[in-house]
Amino acid sequence: MPGIDKLPIEETLEDSPQTRSLLGVFEEDTAATSSYFSQLFKAMQRIYDAQNELSAATHLTSRLLKDYEKQRFPLGGDDEVMSSTLQQFAKVIDELSSCHAVLSTQLADAMMFPITQFQERDLREIVILKEVFQIASDEHDAAVNRYSRLSKRRENEKVKNEVMEDVYTSRKKQHETIMQYFASLNMLQYKKKMALLEPLLGYMQAQISFFKLGSENLTQQWEEFLTNIGTSVQNVRREMDSDAEATEQTIQDLKAASDPLYMPDPDPNKIPVNRNLTRKAGYLNTRYKTSLVSSAWDRQYFFTQGGNLMSQSRGDVAGGLVMDIDNCSVMAVDCDDRRFCFQITSFNGKKAVILQAESRKDCEEWIATINNISKRIYLSENPEEIAARVNQSALEAVTPSPSFQQRHDSFRPSTQGRLKTDRSGSQCSAGSESPALSSLSLDSLVAPDTPIQFDIISPVSEEHTSQAKSGAQGRRTNPFGESGGSKSEESEDSILHQLYIVRFLGCMEVKATESADVIYETMRQILAARAIHNIFRMTESHLLVTCECLKLIDPQTQVTRLWFPLSSVVLCASHQENKRLLGFVLKTAGGRMDGRPVTVCYVFESNNDGEKICDSVGLAKQIALHSEMDRKATQKQRDLDKAKEKQQEELHKQKQIEKDLEEQSRLIATSSRPSQSAADGQFLVLSNSQSEDSEAGEEGQKKGESNA
């Protein structure tokens, strides 16, 4: 190591400019040393702080790994292999944390302590000595200056002695201070080298000790464990890469398959409707009221769960019950502001929900799914297979059997070459064929090419149409039995009031009314026409059965859609297999332009057993019949009573006439007798009452003669 530059202490008393110039060089070196060591101290302080942070972080990591098995993860929280592996890692990291703590202590003693001592003690001492030297030098210069200004003329010994004493004291103080200052500057050259080497030596020794400690305690003990963990990590990485490739391939396949589904209303020919579902989920818009006259729509996620319809908003943990859809009714409805809407009505008709699907396909699938659930198909072991069989049976029902078609053709030999219409070519069998139908021509039940009405025309539109045509064509007669505006109001005290929820399937004109076969044939043709033309919309109404009439009432507005006198119902029957289907035949007099009666068959689907509704109609007709018989008996008794009263009045009048005649005869006899007063020239004056009696007697006599 080269020699160290020193300040000459021997020349401190002389305090020459050369000495002061050399002192300035040392002071400049001291300032540079102080700046450099300040930066070096900060760097080593960062190393020490980082080591402390590493030790604390390692200890925290070990503690968190130990607490892993206490955590409750929603996914994979019960992985015992991972828990045991992390416990072993916690032990290793805990030992590493102890090693890092030891390293931190060694760095504090061997690295930070020497440089801190040099920074705070040695450099601080130089700064203090420099200030003291500057003060002593200024005092010495002031004392010498006062001594130099002593007068030559008058010498004051006392002042001279004081000035000389000041010069002595200040020079001695300056000399001692500058010697101490020079000595400290000279020692600083040694301390600077030691302050550079000792912290670095301590840092390296602490690191070597740390590495040795880790090598002795960790390498041999945990080498096999770390090797196994490394192998496991590589296996997991390979599995992740394989899964990533499979996921990417799945994404590409889903992109290709889902491209048609991106359209909000896909083509049903490309994506057919699945009618065999017993579970479905998806986003729907639901209507809710915001006030008495306004409503709004809200988009929610709906799904079926058993026999319940559930809904869930985004952000909700679980779904909420919307309604029970067992034995419910569902149908497509028309909304003024939305498309693809359908309505679900509970089995008791007290709750109804209007929902909007995104597409026609989605709407039809929801309707089919809810229909399958309402039939409780989901309770079976293989619900989708049973739903497929039910739908297949319905599909076969809309295709006539060969035997039925042959019988139909055998009754119509003259029409073999004629093209069959869509409705007569693919009819649906609403019920099983009865023996009476097998021997009865279809034309005798339903006229060929008879139009089918699938919806109920509202009374407002009917009235408006009849008023519009009344000027040119006279009064319009409705062939389907709606009576225009002249409806007789039913009595409020009717004995029977039964209300049922029904859905109108259709109506058509029929010929025969002798048996229920005409209703079964009408059901078959209406269902076949609905299946052919993909008509799924049904108008839901409330059927009110009373002793006077049948009413179809709008469930929302309570407006009467149709009204039929009970006397016009000539036949009512339910389906032989599907008991929810029912129909009744109405005969209205004068429905045609020529005055002939019109017979129309109406077909409905109900939530209840159709036989109950038919029984209610039969009971109403019986009650009406008994009421009519009682009314006729009462009327007959009233007529007899009136005849008796009239006879009594005639007898009373006859007696009164006889009495008047007797009185008249007496008065006449009295007036014809000669009196004495008349002979004397005096006259007999009759009173007014007597004159009236005489007139009444004359009239009675005339009536008696006429009666005779």
Q: At what angle do helices 17-66 and 123-148 cross, to 10 degrees?
A: 160
> CA-CA distance, 332 to 343, in Å (whole number)?
6
User: Is the backbone of residue 422 left (phi > 0), alpha (psi -120 to 50) or beta?
Assistant: alpha
**Is there a single domain that holds both residue 297 and residue 174?**
no
**Is there a single domain that holds both residue 63 and residue 202?**
yes
Return the structure tokens found at 665. Answer: 């005869």
The pLDDT assigned to 460 comes to 39
Q: What are residue 537's DSSP bridge partners?
A: 332
Task: Please check whether residue 272 lies inside any domain of the structure.
Answer: no
Mean pLDDT of 40-51: 93
Q: Which long-range contacts (CB under 8 A, 24 or more apart) does 381-388 make?
A: 383/278, 384/276, 384/277, 384/278, 387/275, 387/276, 387/277, 387/278, 388/276
Inform me whether the pLDDT recorded for 197 exceeds 60: yes
Mean pLDDT of 14-22: 86
C-beta separation of 341 from 356 below 8 A:
yes
Instruction: Give the pLDDT band of residue 463 (cuts 50, 70, 90).
Output: very low
Mean pLDDT of 248-258: 86
Instruction: Give the pLDDT band of residue 417 (cuts 50, 70, 90).
Output: very low
pLDDT tens digits for 55-92? 999 999 999 988 888 887 777 666 788 888 888 888 88
> CA-CA distance, 553 to 564, in Å (whole number)?
12
Task: Please check whether residue 330 lies inside any domain of the structure.
Answer: yes
The pLDDT assigned to 396 comes to 55
Helix/strand/coil for 341: strand
Task: Work out the percent of the chain whose per-residue pLDDT is above 90.
Answer: 16
**Is there a single domain that holds both residue 295 and residue 164?**
no
CA distances from 140 to 135, 173, 540 (A): 9, 8, 121
Q: Which range, of 43-47, 226-230, 359-363, 444-448, averages the lowest pLDDT?
A: 444-448
The pLDDT assigned to 695 comes to 52
If one counts every other C-beta atom within 10 angstroms of the C-beta of residue 396, the result is 12
Contacts of 121 (CB under 8 A, 6+ apart): none
Domain boundary among 171, 195, 217: 217
**Is there a single domain that holds both residue 345 and residue 212?**
no
**Is there a single domain that holds both residue 24 and residue 112?**
yes
**Is there a single domain that holds both residue 109 and residue 202?**
yes
Q: Which range, of 100-104, 105-109, 219-223, 298-302, averages the lowest pLDDT?
A: 219-223
Instruction: Give the pLDDT band of residue 539 (cuts 50, 70, 90).
Output: confident
- DSSP string across 90-127: HHHHHHHHHHHHHHHHHHIIIIIHHHHHIIIIIHHHHH
**Is there a single domain that holds both residue 28 and residue 164?**
yes
Inform me whether the pLDDT recorded for 31 exceeds 70: yes
**Is there a single domain that holds both residue 610 and residue 511?**
yes
**Is there a single domain that holds both residue 295 and residue 187?**
no
Inform me whether the pLDDT recorded for 164 exceeds 90: no
Mean pLDDT of 322-331: 88
Inform me whether the pLDDT recorded for 304 exceeds 90: yes
Number of domains in the chain: 3
> CA-CA distance, 697 to 670, in Å (whole number)?
14
- DSSP string across 145-180: HHHHT--SSS--HHHHHHHHHHHHHHHHHHHHHHHH
Return the structure tokens found at 414. Answer: 């003259």
pLDDT tens digits for 115-138? 999 988 999 999 999 999 899 989
The pLDDT assigned to 447 comes to 62
Domain harbouring 611, CATH code: 2.30.29.30
Task: Please check whether residue 549 lies inside any domain of the structure.
Answer: yes
Task: Please check whether residue 470 lies inside any domain of the structure.
Answer: no
Task: Please check whether residue 426 lies inside any domain of the structure.
Answer: no
Question: Strands across the sheet with 295-305, in order?
Answer: 320-324, 308-312, 295-305, 281-289, 352-356, 341-345, 329-333
Task: Please check whether residue 492 lies inside any domain of the structure.
Answer: no
Task: Please check whether residue 306 lies inside any domain of the structure.
Answer: yes
317: enclosing H helix or E strand: none
Mean pLDDT of 159-164: 85
Return the structure tokens found at 102. Answer: 């030891």
Inform me whether the pLDDT recorded for 291 exceeds 50: yes
Q: Which residue has the higher pLDDT, 539 or 202?
A: 202
Closest CA to 263 of 358, 368, 365: 358
Instruction: Give the pLDDT band of residue 449 (cuts 50, 70, 90).
Output: low
The pLDDT assigned to 77 comes to 61
pLDDT tens digits for 647-678? 888 888 888 998 888 888 888 888 876 544 44
Domain harbouring 92, CATH code: 1.20.1270.60
Mean pLDDT of 624-630: 82
The pLDDT assigned to 113 comes to 92
Which residue, chain included where needed, has tokens 């769960």? 305
The pLDDT assigned to 94 comes to 86
Task: Please check whether residue 523 lies inside any domain of the structure.
Answer: yes
The pLDDT assigned to 42 comes to 93
Inform me whether the pLDDT recorded for 46 exceeds 90: yes
Inform me whether the pLDDT recorded for 560 exceeds 50: yes
Sign of CA dihedral 353, 358, 359, 362: negative
Instruction: Give the pLDDT band of residue 355 (cuts 50, 70, 90).
Output: very high
Average per-residue pLDDT for the chain: 78
Domain boundary among 598, 626, 654: 626
The pLDDT assigned to 104 comes to 92
> CA-CA distance, 396 to 385, in Å (whole number)?
16
**Is there a single domain that holds both residue 295 and residue 203?**
no
The pLDDT assigned to 156 comes to 74
C-beta separation of 591 from 487 below 8 A:
no
The pLDDT assigned to 481 comes to 40
Domain boundary among 626, 652, 681: 626
Half-sphere exposure of 336 (CA within 13 A, CB side): 3
The beta strand positions in 274-394, using DSSP E, are 281-289, 295-305, 308-312, 320-324, 329-333, 341-345, 352-356
**Is there a single domain that holds both residue 293 and residue 197?**
no
- Nearest-10 Cα torsion for 65, 69, 70, 76: 110
If one counts every other C-beta atom within 10 angstroms of the C-beta of residue 508, the result is 23
3-state helix, strand, coil in the chain (%, to 5): 60, 15, 30
Task: Work out the percent of the chain whose per-residue pLDDT is above 70.
Answer: 78
Give per-residue burial for 670-695: e unless 16+ CB within 10 Å, then b: eeeeeeeeeeeeeeeeeeeeeeebbe
Return the structure tokens found at 527. Answer: 């269902």
Enclosing domain of residue 193 = 9-71+79-217
> CA-CA distance, 621 to 600, in Å (whole number)?
18
C-beta separation of 365 from 304 below 8 A:
no
**Is there a single domain that holds both residue 104 and residue 209?**
yes
Inform me whether the pLDDT recorded for 302 exceeds 60: yes
The pLDDT assigned to 496 comes to 75
